[in-house]
């Protein structure tokens, strides 16, 4: 992790306009408001909030979420777990399955270091491998049974497999059965509120069937049922089966989630706190300009373009058209000049953050801090 | 830049199968063969090779290219220039225009540090800004006039603008006129050899028109005409106007360039030396498996999927289906198990390399070195 080339600007008014471009900006007040709002909603529902760190990969931001009331942080990879653990985040949930000997060794080493790192499993062989590695270190690794909510990506397929796997965990030394993960990822970016509502109801029914099977077959009640996304969490909370929400993107937001009105109000619930600052590098054609944020600086998932938040008039659009460049299309009669600055709302925050080493935390035009994206690439 | 978690495996046989996944691998022998082949082709044509560092962002690889005969390295951003300069690469060409005061200050500071860093310009205001910054430091910055070859991304639009800009450079203290950049990026991934040939002929005519205008209007002959891509360089060399080739992807290669038979032979000229090692994380559905290389580990530009090079039978396919995961589709009767390893040829090498901190250099199954991707994110 290198020092940001903008480090000398910390504390300076007007620094927001003097950053080397492209740079990642976080608006501090908007971020804090987003953290507080999600925390309040989860608390009102009596559900824990464990925000997903894959959306920001930044331990400073994770600590801020914990200070705001989060019970811990989710991570998507063993590398993220290691980075957050190294930064002192002590309560983690690794939401992806893993199975190679080297990944298991890494995860068990993190657990042995004193961090509470809960893992998800979907195969009995992997339970045995994790347990053996844990026993060899003299520790116990907490596990959740991962339920496949329909994407065929990971998870057991239904109540029968869930019971088999839960029994295996309950009977195996070196691991403990902590509950269920039921992440309905297919709902997160489902733009139609009606479809999302129907999907959430179906997901809740699927989870209830597993809970009932665990009770009747094993006399086991999961203390923890974790899942939820920024796009679907109001419906997921309403279902009444989750004890913990994993939402991540609400903190920073992006144009792809802005298209999803999570609560059916027709408006996004969380404004963007994340921006990419970019500057015009060429402008030799009427109606067009080129800026320095391309596909290596703006990642999309569903093909939604970034939105110009500042620096160009209404009607101007931005597209990342090549690795290092984006093309701005301007309304008639408007031009930009080389060196002009723009700020963009990013298409998809998770993979975009993963392209940068630092978040530049701004309050108005003042640069108040620079946070390393310390789990980037991990 | 962190240490690779695989550092302890350097020098070990069988390490290739023991790397934490996902990891980036470079096959040393294939890399060296690719470097030697491109060098030999350029030398036979009497043209300098200045490989593009944006394709690998790795100063160790850049040094290897220079050892193989390259005259220097191209970079796409001021940050890459700084990273390569810091690593001791002393002769650089920044192939993108830049215009903000902070970018100009950064570039001039690199030049003042003793590195030969040539820049491209397409606007007289920017010439003046660079020159003023250079004069303030008591140095001279070498410039090329950037020609727009049809993409409207950067560059002057034709002979008249080229003459105006060249005159401005020639008349301005603090900068020198070094020649032309004419990068025909639209040809790089033009799959049809016939279309590419016609496009290359058109590009050469466009460059010749500028050279003739510079001669007749300014009595100026560019010593240097730089451009060229891995997809089109045989045709670009044949045109006879370039003095320097900028190809980058030939070193590592990817599936998107593999679809372009650069010399019209029907076969790619360079085999892939770059692979992503990934491992199966879940496999609960017949005919499917999930592995740990997703969109944060495999970048595409034209939507071409990665190719499975090792670890699954013929007929198996891989798609990065979410941020952290890829889905493997298997032929009937074949299954994979959690923990199984695969190696993938990446879709697009430039932005894929940009997602990793290290290249693991392998020879057979032995890990011989780990190279930091020190311009990653820069």
pLDDT confidence of A300, banded at 50, 70, 90? confident
Q: Which residues contact B316 (CB under 8 A, 6 or more apart)?
A: B308, B328, B329, B330, B331, B334
CA distance linking residue B368 with residue B113, whole number of Å: 33
Instruction: Output the average pLDDT for chain B.
Output: 96
Confidence (pLDDT) at B177: 98
Asked if B2 has any chain A CB less than 8 Å from its own CB, the reply is yes
Whether the per-residue pLDDT at A237 is higher than 60: the answer is: yes
Confidence (pLDDT) at B191: 87
Asked if A302 has any chain B CB less than 8 Å from its own CB, the reply is no
> Cβ–Cβ of A154/B281 closer than 8 Å?
yes
CA distance linking residue B207 with residue B70, whole number of Å: 24
Which candidate in B7, B75, B99 is best for mutational testing of the A interface (most A CBs within 10 A)?
B99
B241 CA to chain A: closest CA distance, Å?
24
Q: Which residue has the tokens 């990342």?
A: A320
Whether the per-residue pLDDT at B1 is higher than 60: the answer is: no
Q: Locate the domains of chain B by residue range.
A: 7-24+269-372, 29-251
Q: Which of B99, B161, B339 is facing A339, going by the closest CB pair?
A: B99
Residue ranges in chain A assigned as alpha helix (H): 28-45, 59-67, 78-86, 101-112, 124-137, 159-171, 193-218, 233-238, 255-258, 349-353
> Cβ–Cβ of B284/A156 closer than 8 Å?
yes
- Class of the CATH domain delimited by A30-252: alpha beta
Contact call for residues B182 and B206 (beta carbons, < 8 A) = yes
Supply B321's token pair. 């289906």
> Cβ–Cβ of B103/A21 closer than 8 Å?
yes
Whether the per-residue pLDDT at A166 is higher than 60: the answer is: yes
Asked if B112 has any chain A CB less than 8 Å from its own CB, the reply is no
Confidence (pLDDT) at B301: 80
Give the CATH number of domain B29-251: 3.20.20.10
Strand pairing report for B358-363 and B366-372 = antiparallel
> Cβ–Cβ of A284/B338 closer than 8 Å?
no
Closest CA to A92 of A105, A106, A111: A111
Among chain A residues, CA nearest to B146: A282
Closest CA to A181 of A265, A128, A221, A122: A122
B54 CA to chain A: closest CA distance, Å?
9
Looking at residues A80-85, what average pLDDT do you find? 98
Looking at residues A21-47, what average pLDDT do you find? 98
Closest CA to B360 of B60, B98, B117: B60
Confidence (pLDDT) at A266: 86
Percent of the residues in chain B that have a pLDDT greater than 70, as a whole number: 99
Whether the per-residue pLDDT at B190 is higher than 90: the answer is: no
Q: What is the per-residue pLDDT across A192-201, written as a single tens digit (0 to 9) for each?
A: 889 999 999 9
Q: For A316, phi and psi rounded to 5 degrees? A: -75, 145
Q: Which residue has the tokens 């920001």?
A: A56
Torsion, Cα B31 B34 B37 B38, to 10 degrees, reads -120
Closest CA to A347 of A320, A316, A315: A320
Q: How many other CB atoms sit within 10 Å of the CB of residue B17?
A: 15
Helix (H, G, I), strand (E, B) or coil at A277: strand
Asked if A343 has any chain B CB less than 8 Å from its own CB, the reply is no
Flag the least confident range among A94-108, B109-123, B179-193, B343-357: B179-193
Whether the per-residue pLDDT at A219 is higher than 70: the answer is: yes
Q: Which residue has the tokens 């907490």?
A: A142
Asked if A296 has any chain B CB less than 8 Å from its own CB, the reply is yes
Closest CA to B103 of A62, A42, A282, A207: A282
CA distance linking residue A295 with residue A304, whole number of Å: 13
Q: Measured in whole angstroms, how far is the alpha carbon of residue B32 from the centre of its chain? A: 16
Q: What is the per-residue pLDDT across B28-56, written as a single tens digit (0 to 9) for each?
A: 999 999 999 999 999 999 999 999 999 99
Residue B255: CA count within 13 A, CB half-sphere: 22
Q: What is the per-residue pLDDT across B82-136, written as a single tens digit (0 to 9) for each?
A: 999 999 999 999 999 999 999 999 999 999 999 999 999 999 999 999 999 999 9
Confidence (pLDDT) at A334: 94
| Greater model confidence, A292 or A185 | A292
- Angstrom CA distances, B290 to B173, B283, B321, stand at 60, 6, 9
Reported ipTM? 0.95
Percent of the residues in chain B that have a pLDDT greater than 90, as a whole number: 92
Residues in chain B, total: 378
Asked if B291 has any chain A CB less than 8 Å from its own CB, the reply is no
> Cβ–Cβ of A1/B2 closer than 8 Å?
yes
Q: What is the per-residue pLDDT across B150-179, written as a single tens digit (0 to 9) for each?
A: 999 999 999 999 999 999 999 999 999 999
Whether the per-residue pLDDT at A140 is higher than 60: the answer is: yes
Whether the per-residue pLDDT at A3 is higher than 90: the answer is: no
Looking at residues B220-224, what average pLDDT do you find? 96
A308 CA to chain B: closest CA distance, Å?
18
Supply B27's token pair. 């096959």
pLDDT confidence of A303, banded at 50, 70, 90? confident
Strand pairing partners for A358? A372
Whether the per-residue pLDDT at A161 is higher than 70: the answer is: yes
> Cβ–Cβ of B284/A77 closer than 8 Å?
no
pLDDT confidence of A304, banded at 50, 70, 90? confident
Contact call for residues B291 and B328 (beta carbons, < 8 A) = yes
- Complete DSSP assignment for B73-129: EEESSHHHHHHHHHTT--EEEE-S---SHHHHHHHHHHHHTT-EEEEEE--HHHHHH
Looking at residues B346-360, what average pLDDT do you find? 96
Angle between helices B101-112 and B124-137 (to 10 degrees): 40
Among chain A residues, CA nearest to B20: A102
CA distance linking residue B220 with residue B243, whole number of Å: 16
Does domain B7-24+269-372 fall under CATH 2.40.37.20? My reply is yes
Report the 3 state secondary structure along B263-303.
Answer: CCCCCCCCCCCEEEEEEEEECCCCCEEEECCCCCCCCCCCC
The Cα angle at residue A23 between residues B90 and B115, in degrees rounded to 5: 10
Whether the per-residue pLDDT at A1 is higher than 60: the answer is: no
| Cα Dmax for chain B | 73
């Amino acid at each position: 992790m290198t020092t940001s080339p903008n480090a000398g600007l910390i504390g300076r008014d007007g620094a927001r306009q003097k950053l080397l471009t492209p740079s990642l900006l976080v608006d501090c007040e908007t971020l804090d408001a987003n953290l507080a709002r999600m925390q309040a909603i989860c608390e009102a529902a009596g559900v824990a909030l464990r925000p997903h760190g894959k959306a920001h990969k930044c331990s400073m931001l994770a600590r801020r979420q914990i200070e705001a009331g989060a019970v811990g942080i989710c991570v998507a990879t063993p590398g993220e777990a290691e980075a957050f653990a190294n930064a002192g985040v002590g309560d983690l949930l690794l939401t992806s399955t893993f199975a190679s000997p080297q990944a298991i060794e890494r995860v068990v080493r993190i657990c042995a270091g004193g961090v509470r790192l809960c893992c998800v499993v979907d195969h009995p062989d992997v339970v045995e491998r994790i347990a053996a590695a844990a026993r060899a270190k003299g520790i116990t690794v907490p596990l959740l049974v991962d339920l496949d909510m329909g994407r065929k990506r990971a998870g057991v397929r239904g109540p029968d497999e869930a019971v088999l796997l839960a029994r295996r965990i309950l009977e195996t030394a070196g691991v403990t059965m902590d509950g269920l993960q039921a992440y309905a990822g297919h709902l997160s970016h489902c733009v139609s509120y009606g479809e999302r509502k129907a999907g959430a109801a179906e997901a809740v029914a699927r989870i209830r069937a597993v809970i009932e099977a665990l009770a009747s077959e094993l006399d086991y009640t999961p203390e923890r049922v974790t899942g939820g996304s920024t796009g679907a969490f109001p419906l997921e909370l309403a279902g009444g089966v989750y004890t913990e929400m994993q939402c991540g993107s609400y903190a920073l937001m992006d144009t792809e989630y802005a298209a999803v009105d999570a609560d059916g109000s027709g408006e996004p619930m969380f404004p963007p706190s994340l921006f990419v600052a970019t500057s015009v590098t060429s402008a030799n054609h009427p109606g067009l300009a080129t800026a320095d944020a391309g596909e290596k600086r703006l990642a999309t998932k569903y093909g939604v373009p970034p939105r110009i938040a500042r620096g160009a008039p209404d009607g101007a659009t931005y597209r990342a058209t090549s690795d290092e460049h984006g093309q701005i299309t301007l309304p008639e009669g408007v031009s930009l000049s080389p060196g002009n600055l723009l700020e963009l709302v990013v298409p998809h925050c998770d993979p975009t953050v993963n392209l940068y080493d630092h978040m530049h935390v701004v309050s108005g035009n003042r640069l108040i801090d620079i946070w390393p994206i310390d789990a980037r690439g991990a």
